[in-house]
Structure 1
Amino acid sequence: MTATTAPAPTVVNGIAQERRLVTAIPGPRSVELAARKAEAVAPAVGTTMPVYAEQAGGGVIVDVDGNHLVDLGSGIAVTTVGVSDARVVAAVQAQVAAFTHTCFMVTPYEGYVAVAEKLNALAPGDFAKRSALFNSGAEAVENAVKISRAYTGRSAVVVFDHAYHGRTNLTMAMTAKNMPYKHGFGPFAGEVYRAPLSYPYRDGGLSGADAAAQTISMIEAQVGAGNVACVVIEPIQGEGGFIEPAEGFLPAIQAWCRAHGVVFVADEVQTGFARTGDLFASNHEGLEPDLLVTAKGIAGGLPLSAVTGRAEIMDASHAGGLGGTYGGNPLACAAALAVIDAIESDDLVGRAKEIEALLGGRLRELAARDSRIGQVRGRGAMIAVELVKAGTTEPDAALAKAVAAAAHAQGVVVLTCGTYGNVLRFLPPLAISDALLEDAFSVLEQAFAGA
């Protein structure tokens, strides 16, 4: 018999697309850098992995000790098209050579306008739109609130249980989870009200319509429709645990907003740009947000965010009321245009659906054998498992932490999330290969078995 050898791994950005451990995790160079971090960096800035990155490409991160790690985090849903995609790198290099900054509010440039035109064309809704560019998701959320208040002349903001919207003062008020995001940092901005969310795994199977009716009743009784400037919601929650409301919940909330002159804001910071198997998660139920907030995956790793929405709402703010020194930086705009081109050219929406079938299928098979997996949920390349004490629905944060740590030790980057800290979330770059996903899942199976 002739011996067969495994095919050589593909190479992206000079990096073999394979998991390879040459030292323990962390290796000696990462340990050295961790010691330097302890002396130089504020301890409140935590890290998930105990290693330090040196290079990355496709679905692999190479640390300073030469270990190749499978990336199931994408820098928290940022490097959707893969780290250092060649088109993004080339676009940014060309822009660096031209100019790095002028401030769009001082000397504007075409890249900002081109990104706005693209976003206006791609965002859900067949109506005239405008966009404004910023730096981070939290900054864009804050500006969506500002725009909503300017348009409606109202002040109240309605958000939801388990929501995450950022770390600034206003967005901390909008965020539900106390630790580590809010504890000790108050007082927070006022006129923010929290409403119940449809959470199918934990609300007794309440239908989307019935859950929305309860939510609307609470808003009307405790806030008053006439006081509400905007309702801000993640179509699929991110840090809250990848919670997808029951079908019908989101359209009912949007319909109520329309009926009462309330701005419906979709926070798609984590769900946008092909992540969920559609360009935007709002498309799954035909939502047409009045304002759409995007960031993370928009620019391939460069800081950029946006608010895109109905022209009459975006036009409500006075001249000079929106902006910022770095908002719509030319390098980030160049990257964003390349990212959008990559999503369209490589059919990354279709690739997200393939990842959902592969990863979701394997996780459901594991759940059928392990009663500690309470639910597998999510869409596209945004998949999660909620972990519980076997035979119950009691959250098991310790198990999530143990499985993640075991995966990290074997070179797989996986993140935890959820209000109760009991959710493992999977956000691989859409450029990742099936072979890497299969290998990472084998590590996860072993981690569950050993936990």
Structure 2
Amino acid sequence: MSNSDVHRRRLQATPRGVGVMCDFYAVKAENATVWDQHGREYTDFAAGIAVLNTGHRHPKVMAAVQQQLECFTHTAFQIIPYENYIHLAERLNALVPISGPVKTTFFSTGAEAVENAVKIARAATGRPGIIAFTGAFHGRTNMTMSLTGKVVPYKTGFGPFASPVFHARYPNALHKVSVSDALDSLEAIFRSDISPQQVAAIIFEPVQGEGGFYDAPPEFVVALRELCDRHGILLIADEIQSGFARTGKLFSSDYYAVQPDIITMAKSLAGGFPLSAVSGRAEVMDAPEPGGLGGTYAGSPPAIAAALAVLDIIEEEALCSRANQLGSRLKQTLQRADCKALAEIRGYGSMMAAEFNDAAGKPSAEIAKAIQQQALEKGLILLTCGVYGNVIRFLYPLTIPDAQFEDALALLAGILREH
């Protein structure tokens, strides 16, 4: 059956609100390669939106899941618990950049992790308010849409949203938002919207994902930590897109001199299987009453098994180091491309982005989209992001073969020279 035939069926069977980027349909994938039903190969620099740091179908992930499937698929941990859930919690407790006793609980999606981090923060502080940032993306549920700082397409037509939620400015030197501007916007919220004594948590992405891959300056994170300590507010780091070696460290929070109270994670945690987690200081995590946390599929056994394999792979294959090596090669390619529309190259490790402006110096979603489309036509899958839609983000599997990576960079360089 042709792609066009399947496309017609998709339009008839699924709502238009589920936007689809590619005009082909996957039938097979391996590491950094995807094949459609006509046998055409694509190099995947999207990785399921940062889910596949260890690549499609890593053999160790597949073996771990298969072994679990031979035992059982589901019991619901809060009904009949299983040891692997505890083992993974213990491993993450030892790995997350939070000092002292740490506890971890599991869910299915990143949005669930953020929702539950908010629940935990409110239970721990007895306060209702949450502060997020412009450009943030935290999910598509009502609460996480409320936290998200980008209207189109995530919030259009879906209000009213959960409250009390407020947005401060996120520092962004390219768009002339300084650290001082961002901190002043927090103080403005305290003066005009909600008392700091009524704020349970401030949630931020150490590296914004959908917002454009902007990293939080170290002095900003230190100031956030000081502000939270001063007012008894909890600091939540959303590492859903930036975790598990993507930035060259296991977590991007590892780059900072201060630590959050709670970390949310998902995406590449389980190598393609739906799993998310919330880790935090033990006394904070213990605030909800028994039964207050959980979910039918929370901590699914096959996903837990996959995540344990992922942690092994990251260590055994030195993926943090590889993220830095690949990111350096990508950055050199972008710098040498002589692309006049390229306004900025930024990122840690392999969480890299390229931002594009038009001849007048204004953000250009059109240029980013054109580059993305040209790449797709040549067999390279790229994603755009950013509040203006003018950023291309690079999310290749960290396990991509060197020769395939170099071929993709050469293809990218040729496209960029046209702009």
**TM-score if structure 1 supplies the norm length?**
0.90
2:375 to 393, 397, 407: 407
Matched, 1:59 2:28: no
Contact 1:159 1:195 in 2 (8 A): yes
SS at match of 2:131: strand
1:37-63: CA deviation from partner (whole Å, max 9, x where unpaired): 112122211211111111111111111
1:89 to 50, 62, 70: 62
Contact 1:163 1:174 in 2 (8 A): yes
Of 439-448 and 295-304, the range deviating more from structure 2: 439-448
1:378 to 347, 359, 368: 347
Contact 1:374 1:385 in 2 (8 A): yes
**Partner amino acid for 1:383?**
M
1:97 and 1:129 map into 2 onto residues whose CA distance is 32
Q: What are the residue-to-residue correspondences of 1:185-204 with 2, within 5 Å?
A: 185-203=158-176
Matched, 1:290 2:290: no
**Partner amino acid for 1:435?**
A
SS at match of 1:148: helix
**Partner amino acid for 1:43?**
R
Q: What are the residue-to-residue correspondences of 1:33-432 with 2, within 5 Å?
A: 33-203=6-176, 206=178, 208=179, 210-222=180-192, 223-366=194-337, 369-390=338-359, 392=361, 394-432=362-400
1:299-322: CA deviation from partner (whole Å, max 9, x where unpaired): 000000010000000001011000
Match of 1:5 in 2: none
1:444 and 1:391 map into 2 onto residues whose CA distance is 24
1:231 and 1:280 map into 2 onto residues whose CA distance is 18
Of 72-81 and 433-442, the range deviating more from structure 2: 433-442
Structure 1 residue runs without a partner (length 5+) = 1-27
Which 4+ runs in 1 deviate beyond 6 A?
none
2:405 and 2:360 map into 1 onto residues whose CA distance is 29
2:3 and 2:88 map into 1 onto residues whose CA distance is 38
Aligned residues: 418
Contact 1:73 1:427 in 2 (8 A): yes
1:200 and 1:436 map into 2 onto residues whose CA distance is 34
RMSD: 1.3
Q: CA deviation at 1:227?
A: 1.0
**Partner amino acid for 2:262?**
L
2:163 and 2:39 map into 1 onto residues whose CA distance is 49
**Partner amino acid for 1:88?**
V
Contact 1:235 1:244 in 2 (8 A): yes
Q: CA deviation at 1:245?
A: 2.5
2:112 and 2:413 map into 1 onto residues whose CA distance is 39
1:421 and 1:320 map into 2 onto residues whose CA distance is 41
1:39-91: CA deviation from partner (whole Å, max 9, x where unpaired): 21222112111111111111111111111111111110001111100000000
SS at match of 1:56: strand
Q: CA deviation at 1:179?
A: 1.3
1:285-337: CA deviation from partner (whole Å, max 9, x where unpaired): 13311000000000000000010000000001011000000000000000000
Q: CA deviation at 1:274?
A: 0.5
SS at match of 2:124: helix
**Partner amino acid for 1:408?**
L
Structure 2 residue runs without a partner (length 5+) = none
Of 189-198 and 239-248, the range deviating more from structure 2: 239-248
Identity %: 44
1:30 and 1:278 map into 2 onto residues whose CA distance is 40
1:363 and 1:434 map into 2 onto residues whose CA distance is 17
Of 216-225 and 184-193, the range deviating more from structure 2: 216-225
Match of 1:445 in 2: 413
1:446 and 1:36 map into 2 onto residues whose CA distance is 36
Inter-CA distance 364–287: structure 2 relative to 1 (3 Å threshold): farther
Inter-CA distance 449–362: structure 2 relative to 1 (3 Å threshold): closer
SS at match of 1:181: coil
**Partner amino acid for 2:184?**
Q
1:161-185: CA deviation from partner (whole Å, max 9, x where unpaired): 1000000001111111111111011
2:3 to 8, 27, 30: 30
Contact 1:395 1:422 in 2 (8 A): yes
**Partner amino acid for 2:415?**
A
Contact 1:359 1:437 in 2 (8 A): no
Inter-CA distance 233–444: structure 2 relative to 1 (3 Å threshold): same
**Partner amino acid for 1:403?**
I
Of 255-264 and 88-97, the range deviating more from structure 2: 255-264
